[in-house]
Chain A
Amino acid sequence: MTRDPRSPRNRRSDRDHAGPGDEGPRHDDAHRGLVLGTEDAAASPLGFSVLVDPERYLELDDVVHVRTALPDGRAIDVFGVVDEVTARQEGVTLTSDVALTNEGVLPAQTVVAAHVAVTRVEPEIFVPPMPGRPVSLAQGALRSTALYFDAMQERLPLGLARSGEPVHGNLEFLDGTRGAHVNISGVSGVATKTSYATFLLYALFEGGVLGDRAANARALIFNVKGEDLLFLDRPNRRLAADRDARAAYETLGLPAGAFGSVAFFAPARRGELPLPDTGSRQEGVAAFCWTLREFCERSLIQFLFVDGDHDRSQVGYVVDAVEARLRRIARLSTPGSADVEIDGVAVTTFDELVDAIESHVDPDSELADRWNGTGSGSASVGTVRAFMRRLRAAAPHVGHLVRGEAFVRKAAATGHAIALDRQVTVVDIHRLHDRAQRFVVGAVLREQLEARESRAGAERPPPLFVVIDELNKYAPREGESPIKGVLLDIAERGRSLGVILIGAQQTASEVEPRIIANSAFRVVGRLDTAEAQRGEYRFLGAAMRERAGLLKPGSMIVAQPEIPVPLLVQFPHPSWATRKQEVGEAATNGTGTPDAAAVVERRFAAPAAGGARRFED
């Protein structure tokens, strides 16, 4: 009675019973039940319920198929996904009746009903499936039809369904052809947001889905917490023992290995040595910073003012004025040098630059060239003070990221800029102060955006995938800031520039709605139950909202434009190392970056104990 209908044995025996030409759905291996037509479970073209065959079962996420007929004989195929399953006792009215039933006094019948959210009707004649029609599990081609996989020109594996079959995403909605951007929400720690974002990148770059574009496609990942992104180029040792994970990668059509082409950047350490400031990984990590000239030339000062300042309009006025002055200064300074000259004096460190700015914006300054405007256009004393307060507050956290000629010359061998030479570039900013993190993200993204804008060409540029966690910090719901402007720019125009944002945050309700709205793929990991009830998650539907509170690490709910219902996917454990202990024996495929840190160490810090000790940490 309670045999598992999915066991191969059962499947075979069913097939044996079905004779040739026997089309009775009841003998069909895939048969699961009958369409219901009761008052409270009436069938509609958008959803219907199924009386589940007592010998079989349907579970959430099962994909089903019903064929119903029009009066003229035409067949309509209705496809859907099970979004609720209920078990009831018929013949009972009171709560206590269940005990009477168990005592054997009250006859009752247990029935299981499943609700199906319709995903597709072929041909598109929206009639309800008729009550009594047999419902079967959609497998193979039928399942592909139900989930629109058949219509996807380029498919990206998103993970595995509960049934073990792959779930695909339409690449056209990710690469900018018809849509772009991914947004991932979920509780930190259990939602595995970053892991999933990395998995998507892995599928994109190592799964061959990008085809010819793979060579020029790039990914830029900001590592804002932990160090689990610092070993993307190393295979995961644990995978050797994890047969299920390896099988999952195979089902998904992905190799189980590491990213092939990765570069790592970390901010330059404080002090005079151009060493990257990282934790457990030293080798293959390059240090990055900006020169004073770049800081002035590229108007990077605005990214020091990122708080949701309500009086930003006033402070912003001063920022704009100073920005313009700094650009002019950069133009007038000696070409080829990382330093700048202000009033004929060389400015060689960030602190000197801040001092120079202060002396020029001070309303009481005796300098003839005052930067805060003149006459009626000059900013008030209060505004200037506010400006300086913020600049001074930021300086200690950001100063070491903006360097002069002396420092940059030492780093000349390895360069100081973040170059996207490899397919995947990880910018590790997790050791930076909050303000410095925003500065880096804002500055790097603006540079990339501007570089792409200036690049002429009729063809669509190759995609750049930008992965950034804690989106709520950079693009909060309330307030305006330069960095939020950059992100919004990417969300709204990035599609045409080929810049694809893969953003993540704990709570979508705290992020600028326009960024979420522009995301074609919306992904949810484990959600706080109260958060799940917010309007930002309406796309999940009632049943999935509740489930979002139960998701385990490795399970995500993915909504994409073509499929009208969100789908639950599970993605396998990373096949790349996520911490030092997981790094497998296999080397870096010979593509690791030249060991910049080691090179610098040898050249500049022969006796340096500091750097050497780091290796032992």
Chain B
Amino acid sequence: MPVRLLPWQPEYGTAMQFDADAEAVAEAGPPDTTVERGVWAPVTPEVRALPPVLIVDGVRRAEAHAMDDAPDGTPVFGLFGSFAVGAVRAGPFGAASGAPARILEERIRVERRYFHSGSGADAVDGVAPPDLEVAAGRARLAFRAERVRRASTANALVARLNQSMLDEEAKLAEELSRDESALTLVDGPLRSLRSPGRRVVGYIKRIQQWYVGRAELELLPTLRAGERTPLFHVPALEVNGSAAGDGRFSWFLRVADLDVHFHPLGGVMRLETSGALPLADAARLADETAALLPRLASSPARDPRAPHNLTPVAALEARLTHLLGDRLLIRRLLTQAIARPVREEVFR
């Protein structure tokens, strides 16, 4: 096979995040690829009316890294970060058009945090670093202080910022998924949802592992847009020798037919839903996503992560990023806010 390209623009990495040397089969044991059908062959769903879909996403941004010294002389890392989560609603879709897509402005949350690794600093003084509030015109940006335990590096704070965003996303997805008239899509695996509704699907843009074996993988390049693989069941991880929970139903689908110069796995995405669902319900979700996602897939002209990054999501991300505020302005406000007390101390 000649060499072929992968679709994303390289500064965004690639959708292919798996380890080629790793065992194809996941740590929880081999998935059951026969739960839905006996034959591992493409499924072409016939979905007449596409349901409305709610897609949850978030953005985050590290505004400034900081450092402090604990009384005992150990360095304390700090991170000013912002994140926002929201959802976009699209559909229901008819043959050619749908209801206008809408960003659910009322559900958007913008949060600001000051994460710090103040290991013991507050324990010693009994005083946590204060929240920092900066004024931007009439608006006030409150960076709430939050201690990150077991953080010994600055990168751990960045990871915590990301996790905070994911937590908020999960929370929002849980709330939204109570509306069962719509399909709720979540960016990434469903693990973080504690009590998802019955119509929640996680879509995984970056494939970390394939779960299925090499033989099954050969089906993927042959899928066409709108087709999916049969469901397979991924058992839950074993905790203390017994499986915790019901595991997940998962499937692959093709979001877009790509040009010949792209690798045929390039337009493939993995999706999953709760393993606690009745099989028929899970299959219906799979069918709906197979019909829906090619429609929402982005064009390489407007998105560097095309086709995986869905068009409504790109618009939501742009909106959320906009709501985080101007990066340079916030950086400048932080600088001012921190400089003022320091200067006062110097001149005192």
Contacts and interface: CB of A to CB of B under 8 A. Distances in A.
A37 to B, nearest CB: 11
B119 interface: no
B301 interface: yes
Interface in B269-321: 295-296, 299, 301-302, 311-312, 315-316, 318-319
Given A91-B315, A91-B319, A100-B311, A107 B302 contact: no
Contacts of A458: none
A188 interface: no
B301 A107 contact: no
B88 interface: yes
Contacts of A107: 88, 90, 100-103, 312, 315-316, 319
B315 A102 contact: no
A91 B88 CA distance: 13
Question: Chain A, interface size: which category?
Answer: 10 to 19
A97 B311 CA distance: 10
From DSSP, what is the main secondary structure of chain A's interface residues?
Answer: loop
B101 A104 contact: yes
Interface in A86-104: 91, 93-94, 96-97, 100-104
Most B Cβ at <10 Å: residue of A91, A96, A105, A106:
A105
B102 A105 contact: no
B301 A105 contact: no
Contacts of B91: 104
A18 interface: no
B311 A104 contact: no
Contact of B302 (A93, A101, A104): A93
Nearest to A92: B315
Contacts of B93: 103-104
Nearest to A105: B311
A504 B103 CA distance: 57
B318 to A, nearest CB: 7
Contacts of A101: 100-101
B67 interface: no
B99 interface: yes
A127 interface: no
Interface residues of B, number: 23
Given A91-B315, A91-B318, A91-B319, A105 B302 contact: no
Contacts of B97: 102-104
A91 B315 CA distance: 6
A103 B312 contact: no
B312 A105 contact: yes
Nearest to B103: A107
B245 interface: no
A106 B311 CA distance: 6
Nearest to A132: B138
A104 B319 contact: no
Nearest to B310: A105
Contact of B96 (A91, A93, A100, A103): A103
A107 B296 CA distance: 12
A108 B88 CA distance: 11
Contacts of B96: 103
Nearest to A95: B301
B98 interface: yes
Contacts of B103: 107
A93 B295 CA distance: 19
Contact of A108 (B301, B302, B315): B315
B145 to A, nearest CB: 32
B301 A106 contact: no
Most B Cβ at <10 Å: residue of A96, A100, A104, A106:
A104
Nearest to A97: B302
A92 to B, nearest CB: 8
Nearest to B299: A96
A105 to B, nearest CB: 5
A93 B322 CA distance: 14
Contacts of B318: 91
Given A97-B302, A100-B311, A105 B319 contact: no
Interface in B68-96: 88, 90-91, 93, 96
A96 B100 CA distance: 16
Contacts of A97: 302
A104 B315 contact: no
Contacts of A104: 90-91, 93, 97-101
Contacts of B311: 100, 105-106
B11 to A, nearest CB: 18
Contacts of A93: 302
Interface in A71-127: 91, 93-94, 96-97, 100-108
B100 to A, nearest CB: 6
Contacts of B302: 93-94, 96-97
Interface string A20-37: 000000000000000000
Contact of B98 (A94, A96, A105, A108): A105
A108 B315 CA distance: 8
A88 to B, nearest CB: 15
Given A93-B302, A94-B302, A97-B302, A105 B295 contact: yes
Nearest to A107: B101
A94 B99 contact: no
Nearest to B138: A132
A191 B174 CA distance: 67
Interface in B92-142: 93, 96-103
A103 B298 CA distance: 13
Contacts of B299: 96
A108 B312 CA distance: 9
Contacts of A91: 315, 318-319
26 contacts: A91-B318, A93-B302, A94-B301, A94-B302, A96-B301, A97-B302, A100-B311, A101-B100, A101-B101, A102-B97, A103-B96, A103-B97, A103-B295, A104-B98, A104-B101, A105-B98, A105-B101, A105-B296, A105-B311, A105-B312, A106-B312, A106-B315, A107-B102, A107-B103, A107-B319, A108-B315
4 closest A-B pairs by beta carbon, nearest first, are A104-B98, A107-B101, A107-B103, A105-B311
Given A103-B97, A106-B101, 12 more contacts: A91-B315, A94-B302, A96-B302, A100-B311, A101-B101, A102-B97, A103-B93, A105-B90, A106-B311, A107-B90, A107-B100, A107-B103
